[in-house]
Amino acid sequence: MSIMKEDLLELFNERATQFKISDNNATKSDNNAIKFDNNATKSDNNATKYDNNATKYDINATRSNNNARKSDNNAGKSDNNATKYDINATRSDNNAGKSDNNARKSDRNADTSAKISDWDTLISNNNSAMPYWDAIMSNKNATIPYWDALSSNNNAIIYAMSGKLTAMSKVQLKLLDYLNIQVE
């Protein structure tokens, strides 16, 4: 059987056409693969974007937390300032208390001075402070009725001194009574 040249060309063309179809299919497959790769790249890019957004959210959350800490610190500073004001107020109260104590001391000193003045008045002016003093001293018989009877006794001096001391004791008691009244 002889093969004609035309038959060979036809066969060759058929084979070439089949190869072209196969090549085209392979190219399509490659193109599809490239598309899939591109889609995968897009997905990766989207995933990266999501990660970047997540990172931004984390950064914002960190900033919010830092702001919250700053607010807490500021609140702490305010509390510290309030404590300082309380301490200053306490110091002011203590100073006021000291002033009151000083005023009381001044009052006591004034009272003491007044009492001392009263005492000096009593000592320097016996007649006005104790009007009965002259009566006691000038009228021994009236004040101490047993004076004359005792004076004739051998022990008259001792009894007379006793009488005078008794009179003085009465005066001292009157002084103490007067001072007690003034103290009260």
For the chain, what are the domain ranges? 30-144
What's the pLDDT score for residue 141?
47
pLDDT at position 37: 79
How high is the pLDDT of residue 50? 80
pLDDT of residue 143: 46
**In whole angstroms, what is the distance from residue 50 CA to residue 140 CA?**
126
Query: For residue 176, what is the enclosing H or E element?
Result: helix 156-183
Compute the chain's Rg from CA coordinates.
Answer: 64
At 183 the pLDDT is 46
Above 70 in pLDDT, residue 3?
no
Could you tell me which of 163, 128, 159 has the C-alpha nearest to residue 143? 163
Q: Tabulate helix, strand, coil % of the chain (nearest 5).
A: 90, 0, 10
| Residue 42 zone, left/alpha/beta (φ > 0; ψ -120 to 50; rest) | alpha
- Token pair recorded at residue 86: 């309380």
pTM over 0.75: no
Least confident of 60-69, 91-100, 160-169: 160-169
Task: Convert the pLDDT of each residue in 48-94 to its tens digit.
Answer: 888 888 788 788 888 878 888 887 888 888 778 878 877 888 887 78
Asked if pLDDT for residue 25 goes beyond 70, the answer is yes
Helix (H) / strand (E) element for 118: namely: helix 5-124
Q: How far apart are CA 100 and CA 29, in angstroms?
A: 104
Q: How confident is the model at residue 127 (pLDDT cuts 50, 70, 90)?
A: very low
What are the phi and psi torsion angles at 152 (to 5°)? Answer: -85, -10
Q: What is the mean pLDDT of residues 138-148?
A: 51
CB-CB contact of 112 with 104 (8 Å): no
Residues 6 or more apart in contact with residue 121 via CB below 8 angstroms: 128, 129
Phi then psi dihedrals of residue 3, to 5 deg: -100, 125
